[in-house]
């Protein structure tokens, strides 16, 4: 059988709350070329494996839960793919329409030096108005810059401007595509966090290009509880400092001041009606999430000062990676 133009790789773990909708959308993609679908399950116990085994057009790879790694598992999927390009979804990222996959590939075909492409996320209809607004504003920010970026756009700025470097290596494997020939030279790092952004930094520094396509859209959003937000922010801050040298939080005193400001802002912030009705309960939850975000970033930036037992309890990714 001839090589496919593209493969879609989806890591799964206890995914039945989302996966059937995601798979239905992936199976319904309309493309002028063939594509294959590979799911990699890491020890699901909720019927995910049985569901995937029943999908004739999906190739299932099963690994033990302790074998999972964000980069390691995606490398396994790319290695197994018989395709020029490999697209990634997470099991809770649902393509919006039947042109999602073709739009990713079309963006990558604009130049042979484009090594990776990422697409847009929008919130699920059930998400809070604040979550919908945050996602829209985040991805609108990329439209203020070229859709294709690389280090040679402004070498001096790349060397001196941390925010510019962050923009150039932003990449999200919730909705992305990689050129397999580049991966063969630069596979994903086997790390517990930010494998996608570390890979993007590597290819940018190697002279390749990265693209954003707002036309390849998935539903993907989370309304985190206070504890979930705290732990996610802790992992983000701890690992961004470890891998990139970024300090995502000011000092503890400044963090406390920022928490107070975030609570005030949560109760005063205006939200466009198209994102949904904002209630008092919504604002209370928003305030809690923002406090948790700042606290988690502060704790993560200072994780070396914390007792190891507390750091281990706070980190979701470290627990998952070492499971």
Please give the mean pLDDT across all residues of the chain. 94
Are the CB atoms for 99 and 214 separated by under 8 Å? Answer: no
The pLDDT confidence band at residue 2, using thresholds 50, 70 and 90, is low
Enumerate residues 6+ apart whose C-beta is below 8 A from 15: 44, 46, 48, 91, 92
Would you state the pLDDT for residue 320? 52
Q: What is the pLDDT of residues 110-119, one digit of tens each?
A: 999 999 999 9
Q: What is the pLDDT of residues 199-248, one digit of tens each?
A: 999 999 999 999 999 999 999 999 999 999 999 999 999 988 888 888 88
Would you state the pLDDT for residue 319? 55
Res 321 pLDDT > 50: no
Are the CB atoms for 224 and 302 separated by under 8 Å? Answer: no
Q: Residues of the chain with pLDDT > 70: what percent?
A: 97
């Amino acid at each position: 059988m001839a090589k496919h133009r593209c493969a879609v790789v989806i890591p799964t773990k206890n995914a039945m709350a989302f996966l059937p909708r995601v798979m239905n959308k992936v199976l319904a993609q309309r493309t002028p070329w063939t594509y294959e679908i590979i799911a990699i399950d890491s020890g699901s116990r909720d019927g995910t494996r049985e569901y995937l085994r029943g999908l004739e057009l999906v190739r299932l790879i099963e690994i033990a839960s302790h074998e999972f790694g964000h980069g390691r598992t995606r490398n396994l999927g790319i290695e197994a793919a018989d395709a020029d390009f490999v697209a990634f979804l997470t099991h809770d990222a649902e393509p919006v329409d039947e042109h999602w996959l073709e739009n990713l590939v079309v963006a990558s075909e604009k130049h042979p030096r484009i090594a990776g492409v990422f697409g847009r996320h929008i919130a699920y209809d059930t998400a809070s108005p604040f979550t919908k607004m945050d996602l829209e504003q985040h991805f609108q920010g990329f439209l203020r810059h070229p859709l294709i970026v690389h280090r040679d756009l402004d070498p001096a700025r790349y060397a001196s401007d941390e925010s510019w470097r962050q923009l150039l290596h932003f990449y999200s494997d919730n909705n992305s595509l990689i050129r397999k020939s580049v991966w063969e030279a630069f596979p994903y790092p086997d790390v517990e966090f930010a494998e996608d952004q570390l890979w993007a930094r590597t290819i940018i520094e190697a002279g390749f290009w990265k693209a954003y396509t707002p036309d390849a859209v998935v539903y993907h959003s989370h309304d985190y509880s206070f504890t979930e937000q705290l732990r996610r922010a802790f992992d983000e801050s701890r690992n961004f400092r470890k891998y990139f040298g970024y300090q995502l939080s000011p000092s503890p005193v400044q963090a406390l001041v920022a928490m107070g400001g975030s609570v005030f802002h949560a109760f005063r912030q205006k939200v466009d009606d198209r994102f949904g009705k904002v209630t008092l309960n919504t604002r209370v939850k928003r305030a809690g999430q923002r406090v948790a975000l700042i606290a988690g970033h502060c704790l993560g930036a200072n994780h070396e000062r914390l007792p190891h037992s507390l750091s281990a309890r706070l980190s979701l990714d470290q627990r998952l990676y070492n499971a």
